[in-house]
């Protein structure tokens, strides 16, 4: 088996830790997910596209692909077992709805869905559980990250935010 290396990701994590302190996100007042939860409006500034009773959906500010979503419970907890059944059910329902919206809006060929739980699993924000949903298309990998340390994302965050905000809003009105 061959390995695919992504050194730009490590550089981002190390830079973020150096700038913000490696454990500042352990405290809710420094957690960008908690700030998204407490946001009173949805805007491109906070990247929030939807909220439900227990869950927030935001665009990833540093996406792997266009439409890369982060889905997080309101509760500042680190692991799935720390959620009560209502929070867990809402999180999973929002995950399912998000995939449906991504299919409708962006028409990807597949998804990478995952949660990095714990620092050793690669969690950039280990204290606040969140699920990544990354839409994928045939041929969406290329040579740019290897040669130029650049990830090509084919759509602006503003355009993606507008599309998702409308789609989630339509879903809420049903």
The verdict on residue 1 lying in a domain is: no
| 52 found inside a domain | yes
In this prediction, residue 82 carries a pLDDT of 96
Residue 23: how many CA atoms within 13 Å on its side-chain side?
A: 0
- The domain tally of the chain equals 1
Per run of 10 residues, the mean pLDDT along the chain (length 174 residues) is 60 61 61 92 91 95 90 96 97 97 94 91 89 89 54 73 84 62
CATH code assigned at 149? 3.30.428.10
pTM of the model: 0.75
How far is the C-alpha of 113 from the C-alpha of 49, rounded, in Å? Answer: 18
Q: Based on the number of CB atoms within 10 Å of its own CB, is 57 exposed (0-12), middle (13-18) or buried (19 or more)?
A: buried
Confirm whether 54 is domain-assigned: yes
Answer for the pair 67, 160: CB distance below 8 angstroms, yes or no: yes
Residue-number span of the structural domain to which 80 is assigned: 7-173
Give 15-34 pLDDT, tens digit per residue.
Answer: 655 655 544 456 777 899 99
- For 105, the token pair is 């809006």
Asked if the structure places residue 2 within a domain, the reply is: no
Residue 18 neighbours by CB under 8 Å, 6+ apart: none
Catalytic residues: 130
């Amino acid at each position: 088996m061959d390995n695919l290396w992504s050194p730009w990701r490590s550089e981002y994590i190390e830079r973020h830790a150096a700038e913000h302190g490696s454990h500042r996100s352990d405290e809710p007042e420094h957690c960008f997910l908690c700030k998204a939860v407490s946001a009173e409006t949805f805007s491109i500034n906070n990247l929030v596209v939807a909220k439900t009773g227990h869950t927030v959906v935001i665009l990833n500010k540093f996406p792997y692909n266009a439409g890369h979503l982060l889905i997080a419970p309101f509760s500042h907890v680190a692991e799935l077992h720390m959620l009560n059944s209502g929070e867990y059910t809402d999180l999973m329902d929002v995950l399912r709805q998000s995939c449906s919206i991504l299919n409708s809006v962006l028409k990807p060929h597949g998804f990478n869905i995952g949660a990095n739980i714990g620092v050793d699993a690669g969690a950039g924000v280990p204290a606040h559980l969140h699920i990544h949903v990354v839409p994928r298309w045939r041929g969406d990998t290329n040579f740019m990250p290897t040669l130029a340390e650049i990830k090509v994302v084919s759509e602006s965050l503003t355009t993606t935010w507008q599309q998702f905000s409308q789609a989630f809003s339509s879903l809420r009105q049903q």
